[in-house]
Homo-oligomer: A and B are copies of this chain.
Amino acid sequence: MAQVSSLNTQIVVDWGTSSFRAYNFGSNGKIIQRHQADAGILSVRNGAFEEVLEREIGRWISPSTEILLSGMITSRNGWIETPYALTPATLTALATHAVVLHSQRGAKLKFLPGVATHAPTPDVMRGEEIQIFGVVSNNESATIVLPGTHSKWAEVRDGAIAGFRTFLTGEMFALLKSHSILGRLILAGEQAFNEQAFRAGVKVVQAASSISLLNDVFTARSGVLLGAFPADDIQDRLSGMLIGHEIKAGLTLYQKGRLVLVGDPALTKRYAVALQEFGRTAEIGAADAAVDGFRRLSAEAMA
């Protein structure tokens, strides 16, 4: 039975910094088995990646099994560092640029590449491409926005990732909140989303008086000192400013076709609210777009 299964299925492993997710797709694209563990690459000692793979999904594997691996497992700190597929990057190119290793019991391990672009500015992604291919279908064109620590705006043209830009938005917010003079006025603890303060932050960026992010963020402090708004507003006002700056820039590049937000629901909600202030609406893609991307990849690999 195991033998039959391995011939007609495709195993995909999404192995990131902090988590390990595996899917076993049948030839009909349905997930036959799935497994998730806190076995990210940071938890793996002495490069014992193969032992961890066997421990987690060894029961799915036979000598004829082929496994696609994606995520930070393909980075410098992972099992093997794969090169990047250059834009325009297709789903097929990901499979073509995969680096192959054979496990000790003969399974074929295909490590997928990341995607890179040199122009107009150098940029890289490693993992987000799977989410992107999970949102678009063959030959489709769309703009996919993946909010996060390093937000991506990707332009998909005729089914290929034609270009993209990364914005340090999420990381910048964390830096300013945790380590800057602005953070000293932010109250500790979780806050409910203050939509009014968030929208006010977006409006700051849209105003004619906005000349630089470096100035706008300082006003989140000076405005409190001068009584323009309460200190409680700083956190979401700052979030609105940063996301507003990202969207203002992203929209200058990507004006046409579907605009799809993919990611954590609380975060895509913020982006949808900010886009509203810019008079734009966006689709919210499936939060598990990566699974759809892997499904397409596994179908491609089995074809």
Interface residues of A (CB under 8 A from B): 84, 116, 118, 120-124, 150, 165-169, 171-172, 175-176, 178-181, 204, 207-209, 211-219, 222-223, 225-226, 228, 242, 245-246, 248-250, 252-253
Contact = CB atoms under 8 A, between A and B. Distances in A.
A98 B246 CA distance: 43
Contacts of A242: 214
B169 A180 contact: no
Contacts of A212: 167, 213, 245-246, 248-249
A214 B167 contact: yes
A226 B85 CA distance: 12
B123 A211 contact: no
Given A175-B180, A181-B171, A166 B218 contact: yes
A167 B123 contact: no
Contacts of A250: 211
Contacts of A253: 211
B213 A213 contact: yes
A122 B180 contact: no
A74 to B, nearest CB: 13
Contact of A218 (B123, B204, B215): B123
A249 B215 contact: yes
